[in-house]
Structure 1
Amino acid sequence: MNILEPLAARYAGWLGLPAEETALPEASPGEVRAMPVILHLEKAVPPGRTALLEAAASAAVAVCLDERAQPGGEWHEPVRDWVSGHIRKVTRRARGTHWQVAQEFPGVTVTVDGAEVRALVPGRVVDVPKEIARLQIQGSDLPPDEPPPAPDDLPLLLLNPEVSMTVGKAAAQVGHGTMILAALLGADELSAWARRGYACAVRTPAVAQWKQLHPGGDPAGAWRSRRVVAVRDAGFTEVEPGTVTVLAQYR
């Protein structure tokens, strides 16, 4: 069983999976769950923006598909409870000893071209350890960079070229994208992706490319013909509710 099946049912009911309402009821404040995503941002030598986003995208899905998140594993219950509701992520930044302390909490660290991100096992926001809660959320940003063309053999995450997002916001959104992709893939595809450490490419396309890949009013057709899904934001931070922030394509 893929622990991400609840996402497939909500985001892709058109695949004939068990029907669920896409709009979930809001949890009470004490029951809101989120995945902490820790970005390693040193002042002296900051990472590249694209590499950091790629590390974030891989780390989020790696936690969900880790052996410890499967039935009988020590992470199974918290991951299951989280993916059964809103897949909120709270992105924080850490440097120096604070980054080292973050390694002590259950999760997965991914490094891409020197950029490091640790995604922690999700849980109730009110239960976040004080060592993680004190890490700053606001102000996590990096200047744009110019990455080379994306490899043809990696899943591709395209950021909306007409929407401005901080690196913290974008990190959460690309993590949503890899999780939704993983929810829709078959066992053989997931195994092949796992062998590559859930590597992916993050790029900002030209507006014309974005519009060409966008599912529009035919999400089923877009998945079947182009293997593309859209990440539509709930609008809690930075963007308007319903904004498509990321297009995720399995290649």
Structure 2
Amino acid sequence: MPGRSPRLARRRHETRVRLLHAAFELVAEKGMDGVTISQITDAADVGFGSFYNHFDSKEGIFAALVDWLFEEFANTLDRLANGLADPAEVIAVSVRHTLLRACREPVWGQLLVREGLSARALSGGLGQRLLRDTEKGIAEKRFVVADKLMCAISVIGTVLAGVAAELELPTSSRRAVLTRKNLPSKAEKFAESTAAIVLQTFGLARFEAEKIARRPLPAAPGTQPLEMA
């Protein structure tokens, strides 16, 4: 009947979004290994059997959640870098915002550490944007890189190590999260230092890398709701 299919599609989409929201909240509370499908469906107020209309397993919903989180963040970085002419500043801004978001949202940071060097992360979202920005810097003779892929992997490894250091590796407690929020200047300086190290990987001299890493940071726009998953 006319209008029936769009309405069903909308309901299906809304159910999928509720499941993803519930999964993220449970992961934030319990960690991935401590969450079950029944807990996700209960939190989302969705029938257990309906889960399999959207995802084939617990691993499937976590993969979809990770894909959305990092694709959304990659789009945020593109918006932040829009209008920046210097490829080095684009890289610095991206690195700094990544570290700062991990500091503000420890669960997001833990997911990034877990997935950052996976084939999925490297082939889409953040990984592809890093390669794109690397190629642009090379083409403009701003970067001196012998192997762009190995350079990108090295950069990702540096950023992930920085995130892990900020999170102190174990799952953060609520007290640790509050403490981290009370020390923004420390997190900002750490993000600047990491960005400077990354820029040196691209061939910039230390003094110039540190100067670029300390430039005013574009404010992050509001996070988009979980509607694109």
TM-score in same-fold range (> 0.5): no
Which entry has the higher C-alpha Rg, 1 or 2? Answer: 2
Q: Which has the higher helix share?
A: 2
Greater fraction of residues in strand: 1
Output the TM-score relative to the length of structure 2: 0.32
TM-score of the pair, normalised by structure 1: 0.30
